[in-house]
Amino acid sequence: MELNLTTMLGQSGLIEADNVARLIETAEQIDVEETLASKAELLTTYRARLAHLGQFSTHHATRLQRATAEFVAALEQLDDEAMIAHARIDDPILGGYVVWFVPSNAVAIGALYVIGRSEVPAEVWQSIWEDP
């Protein structure tokens, strides 16, 4: 699959687009998932995640909530039969971005900064999800 994530992000207007584009410039590896997901599957999952994120008020949670709301809104605008792919760009320091896009028209519709629980010590995990 040939795609230019930087171009897609530059045209997207997504909240996290500039941050992802900077990371892409230095990324050693970008993993593109060739398995396509349906709009309906993603809406179910990300609406639930968005509701869950509303319980938290830390910087990371708020940032992720805004980007998730943006992704859900973009999904809602797609045709029901739209299929969506994603790419993962890992930050060498911590976490990384998942960029969701529609391969049929090369449009980026979501960019989420994610940190896995296994990537950080328990106290760091707690600090990014729980208010002091």
- Give the pLDDT band of residue 3 (cuts 50, 70, 90): low
Residue 1: per-residue pLDDT = 40
Mark out the alpha helices in the chain (DSSP H runs).
5-12, 17-26, 39-53, 59-77, 122-129
Question: Which one-letter DSSP state was computed for residue 107?
Answer: E
- Residue 95 in this model has a pLDDT that exceeds 90: no
Task: Please give the model's pTM, rounded to 2 decimal places.
Answer: 0.90
Task: Band the pLDDT of 2: cuts 50, 70, 90.
Answer: very low
